Amino acid sequence: MHDNSLWLGRLRAPIKMAMIGFIGLSLLIYLWFIAQQFLSDEAYGMFEVIRPAGKPMVQFLLFALGGAFLFASLFLSDTKGMIETAPDGFFDLVSVVLGRLAMIMVAFVVLVMFYEVVSRYVFLRPTLWANELSLWIASFVFLLAGLYAMQQRSHIRIYIIYDMMPRWMQKASDSISVLLIIFFTVALVWGGFTDAQNRFMRMETFGTAWDPPIPGIVKPALLIIICLVCIQAISNLIADWNKAPESHTPADEIDEVEIENIRRTLEDK
């Protein structure tokens, strides 16, 4: 098992067990909530989930979900995809773990929307929370995906002129790009810190029937994650500084694995 480990090593098995345990615990508590809908007049729903104060079972559910997301992100970050750039250093690992969290969140959004479709069109009982929860999760997916793209060097880059430059000029261009990112980050944090602090301190809500605190959480998260993107850009600059120059061609964008899968699909038909 350790041979396929990217960075966890001996911790891979315990983290996998913790992931399975927290996922199982989350499912059991969720099933208990469903049973309470039929057995009790004081059953908890999604309205209480974002207001867990004084509700131990709701707090326990949130704790179990948090553990499931955390250990699943750690476990899944221990493998490298075929087209992924291997992490190089501690901060790259942080970005990869958060990137895996964003991938899990995408699957979670699909489950939420599936639940809404079934509830609305099969049982004729649409929810008040599915749309807001999807927006809430999607906002973090968008932010964390930017961090992951920066770590993977998969953001939009134009190489036509860059590849014609000598190495010293490429380094100068990379330095200017990072300086612009730093300037943007400082300006965004400087201008948005007070507003984010105020929204967080009063835990500003969305103003809907479910009324989740989306503005109170997303605005501070925006500033935190843009700082992480800035740190990742600096980390990339340091890691790539002494690397040999690379040449880029249109063939770099071709995914041979995907082409082979398409070929096999066509052959099967």
Instruction: Give the Cα separation of 203 and 196 in Å (integer).
Output: 10
Say what the pLDDT of residue 87 is: 87
Alpha carbons 65 and 30: distance in angstroms, whole number: 10
Please state the domain extents for the chain: 1-79, 93-251
Report residue 16 as tokens: 């996998």
Q: How far is 84 from 106, CA to CA, in rounded Å?
A: 18
Kindly give, in sequence order, each residue whose CB lies less than 8 Å from that of residue 43, ignoring residues fewer than 6 positions away. 33, 36, 37
**What pLDDT tens digit does each residue of the chain (269 aa) get?**
455 788 998 999 999 999 999 999 999 999 998 888 888 777 888 888 888 888 899 999 999 999 999 999 999 999 988 778 888 888 999 999 999 999 999 999 999 999 999 999 998 888 989 999 999 999 999 999 999 999 998 877 778 888 888 999 999 999 999 999 999 999 999 999 999 999 999 999 998 889 999 999 999 999 999 999 999 999 999 998 988 777 766 655 566 667 777 788 777 76
pTM (2 d.p.): 0.87
